[in-house]
Chains A and B, each alone.
Chain A
Amino acid sequence: MIVLNRRGQRAGGDPAVPAFHFTDVTAQVGINFVHHGPTLDPKLDNIAPLVGALGASVSVADVNNDGWPDLYFTNSRFGYPNALFVNRGNGTFEDVAAAAGVADVNRPGDGVSMGAVWGDFDNDGLEDLLIYKWGDLQLFKNLGNLHFQDVTASAGLRQWMNANGAVWVDYDRDGLLDLYVAGYYRSDIDLWHLKTTRIMENSFEFATNGGKNRLFHNLGGGRFEDVTDQMGVGSTRWTLAVAAADFNGDGWPDLFLANDYGPEELYLNDHGKRFVLSRVGLESDSKSGMSATLGDVLNRGRVDAFVTNISERGYLFHGNNLRLNFLPELGRFQQAAEGVLADAGWAWGAQLGDLDNDGRNELFIANGYVSGDRNRSYWYAMSKIAGANGNLFEDARTWPAIGTASLSGYERSRVLVNRGLAGWSDVAAQVGVTDEYDGRAVALVDLFNRGVLDVVVANQQQPALVYKNSVTPGNHWIGFKLVGTRSNRSAIGAELLLVAGGTRQLEVVDGGSGFASQNDRRLHFGLGRSAQVDSAVIHWPSGTVQTLGHPAADRVHVVTEPAR
């Protein structure tokens, strides 16, 4: 199938020169967060750097409703605090996590953080915080004035999961945010007190012995109920990332899973009554999914998915997947990744967003697994067992010791510019992204309310990075902050279709996407040279459709859901 991108030419300027540039302003803005990975049961010492290579995450929320986006980073070692950096609005941030009560969450017996997602589960106008862990889930209710209360037990969410992903989604469209949490290791495993070392995947490509994913239905009154089995979404593949959106256009949010050691999965929502694992062209492509990134890649007014994977010279080419959404027409996705889009090394978090405001989405991809000794690679050692029978390497003791070796370490991040029919170009170095950290989570957010998307990256065992974006003047933009009334207050799941200059762009309010990350809930669209917007059509989760005629460019519109 050939898909033509109507914006085959950039809005202006030399197409070879990126119209944006990033500056690392991490220290300048006062973000001094350094992630610490977990220290696990000594029985895993031979591969501890591999097993403990997860947990760096970043999620965005305006926690104090001051109009400035704030950042939450997770730590993953006992005694090391998570951080809530509140945006002072003057270009600097301040960590208030300890005073707010959301710092000291990594404790023996409770587990350690792997990520967090924000959503107003009680519709009180304040964004609440769900921390997923290798350990007990933790739900914090936002009390206002930068104070939070742990309501996990009263919410019925106190459950041990070895989780690496979660998404807020109102799957039954009752106006209350439900919660889907992705299990990685089995939930009966305590990684600090192992009863067995048979905890690993039993296949590198067809494993189904991972943690069970769980769906928690929001009953209202601050309580949740586990409806996993009755809704049919208890995948035991090794899910690393999950995102929710209405892929088939039936008005109900579906669940897209990026699974390690297996194929991606799409659970189509049957009118909020159950989910159906669907054969949509994903099932036969079994690789190593790390990140579930959503975006309208070809300006078709459609939600496509980008899933990161692993590539290593000579050993493995599990290229990234760009799943173009043709569900309404063909009932399936079409894989369209090739070249720099497919091969980005050992890729983790990724986000699609219009980084140069030209009306097309770019891609930011964080890379690298374990950066140890530069002259020692674990790839050969891992190849001994990677092709073998799964019963052998399900036991962690069978794995060769990694020692101080690297495994796809020191890989640079990729910044891919969408050139329409000309494909994608990696411009990372040109735009100032040269770090070689072991990137995990990527979040896009207009940190300084300038009408451009900045990038925040959480790196494993390393400092977080804030890349401030400078877009070449000339391109226009428009932003929307949606406030639900009949829908959930955060408007998570709302779709906005923007029509401008003959092109269409679709974005979805983010309840968690990429890998261990969540973008700004505000929607940001580039407009190119034109400052004229024809319309903005909002499909609220409640089913209400709202059309805004000719909204003004170069500003953020706050839109409240109409009564009907």
Chain B
Amino acid sequence: MSSPSLLASLDPRYPVSFLITLILVLGEARYGILGGYDRLVAALGVSTATELVLSRWLRGRLANLLSAYVTGISLALLIKPPATLLWPFALGGFLAIASKYVLEVRGRHLWNPSNFAISVLQLLAPGSVAILSRQWGNDLATNAVIWCFGLLIASRVRMLHVTLAYVACFVALAGVRSMITGGPLLAEVAPLTGPMYQLFVFFMITDPKTTVSSVRGRVIVAAAVALVEAGIRLAGDFHVGALAPLYPAPPILALAIVGPLANAIDLYRTPSPEGRRGRGVRIIDSTSTP
């Protein structure tokens, strides 16, 4: 059994990797959530290969592969194309990792890699890509295990406030949406109980490398993501045709909109990396989590 001090000394990427592996194993064992191991091989293989090649080529050294590992598994779980298509996993893995090297300012990514890849695929190839819609059946135990480990690990990587801020805002805004639309509150809250949201709140929105510098700022960003998501959802409820491409994955696309804007503002306000470190964020190496 790990002691608290041992946990504290661990590279945060290890518990994050553990959590995503736990979700993968539980989801696959109980529900066949992957839909084929070839998908995992494609996403993981391309993610890690891209990481190795680009880190060696652009930075002159081989990167730690934990980040690519988490990205690969996230993509394998979240992308759901037709059964015979493997290219979305390969392309997603490449886009995600390449975005870390290309879409960065002063060593900081503008988008969470998985978030970027999934958003691009969802918007540009909706005929070939859907987002995870499977659920944990009616099994509350699986949900509980993942939430417990997720909260523990979010706390460990000092991002629990982001998770909690987003969830609190989501629930509050679900109530608002329910009042506006007159629909059942449970239907508005329901998405939180599914695996897509668990991956979102524990891996995407909490990615230390793509969040802003201050605790207060991160809480505001989480709230802004929830707010934009609520806007997308309301547009969906009122059948606004122009925004229809956003409806299949509102939280992911909300983060893709808010995330880089928040990062750009934060970079503008904190001109040097040193300034950022001074605000209590634990920067993790040169690669992000998922």
Contacts and interface: CB of A to CB of B under 8 A. Distances in A.
A342 B83 contact: yes
B4 interface: no
Contact of B84 (A203, A285, A342, A377): A342
Contacts of A317: 80-83, 130
A335 B83 contact: yes
B271 interface: no
A383 B248 contact: yes
Interface centre among A206, A388, A394 (most CB of B within 10 A): A388
Nearest to B196: A387
B282 interface: no
A286 interface: yes
A401 interface: yes
Interface stretch (A222-230, A307-315, A469-477, A538-546): A307-315
A204 B137 CA distance: 7
A386 B233 CA distance: 15
A314 B80 CA distance: 9
Contacts of B187: 381, 384-385, 392-393, 398-400
A89 to B, nearest CB: 46
B140 interface: yes
Interface in A205-221: 205-207
Interface string B244-259: 1101100000000000
A319 B82 contact: yes
A316 interface: yes
A393 B135 CA distance: 12
B114 interface: no
B234 to A, nearest CB: 11
Contacts, number: 132
Contacts of A384: 187-188, 190-191, 233
Interface stretch (B148-156, B219-227, B235-243): B235-243
Contact of A389 (B83, B136, B182, B233): B136
B135 A343 contact: no
B75 interface: no
Contact of B83 (A319, A387, A405): A319
Given A205-B135, A206-B31, A389 B82 contact: no
Interface string B157-201: 000000000000000000000000111101110111111110000
Contact of B184 (A206, A284, A319, A400): A400
A338 interface: yes
B143 interface: yes
A291 interface: no
B126 interface: yes
Interface string B123-143: 000110110111111101001
A493 B188 CA distance: 49
A203 B137 contact: yes
B122 interface: yes
A388 B193 contact: yes
B32 interface: yes
Contacts of B133: 204, 315-316, 383, 386-387
A375 interface: yes
Contacts of B140: 389, 391
Interface residues of A, number: 46
Nearest to A312: B130
Given A204-B135, A389-B194, A375 B241 contact: yes
A392 to B, nearest CB: 5
A389 B84 contact: no
A323 B81 CA distance: 20
Interface centre among A311, A338, A384, A385 (most CB of B within 10 A): A384
B247 A380 contact: yes
A370 to B, nearest CB: 15
A317 B187 CA distance: 22
Contact of A202 (B122, B138, B195, B239): B138
Contacts of A380: 236-237, 247-248
A207 B136 CA distance: 11
Contacts of B245: 314
Contacts of B184: 397-400
Contacts of B122: 314
A312 B136 CA distance: 21
A394 B241 CA distance: 30
Nearest to B129: A314
Nearest to A401: B183
A390 interface: yes
A314 B248 contact: yes
Contacts of A377: 239, 244
Interface string A34-69: 000000000000000000000000000000000000
A279 interface: no
A405 to B, nearest CB: 7
Given A387-B135, A388-B135, A398 B186 contact: yes
Contact of A311 (B82, B182, B248): B82
Interface in A259-294: 284-286
Contacts of A343: 82
B82 A392 contact: no
Contacts of B83: 317, 319, 335, 337-338, 342
A392 B186 contact: yes
A379 interface: yes
A6 interface: no
Contacts of A335: 83
A423 to B, nearest CB: 12
A376 interface: yes
Given A203-B135, A313-B126, 17 more contacts: A206-B137, A207-B137, A314-B127, A317-B83, A319-B82, A319-B83, A380-B247, A383-B247, A385-B187, A387-B191, A389-B140, A389-B143, A391-B140, A392-B190, A397-B184, A398-B184, A400-B187
3 shortest A-B CB distances, which residue pairs? A390-B138, A387-B194, A388-B190
28 contacts: A204-B133, A205-B137, A314-B122, A314-B127, A317-B80, A319-B83, A335-B83, A377-B244, A380-B247, A381-B237, A383-B248, A384-B190, A385-B190, A387-B194, A388-B190, A388-B191, A388-B192, A389-B135, A389-B190, A389-B193, A391-B140, A392-B186, A392-B187, A392-B193, A398-B186, A398-B190, A399-B184, A400-B187
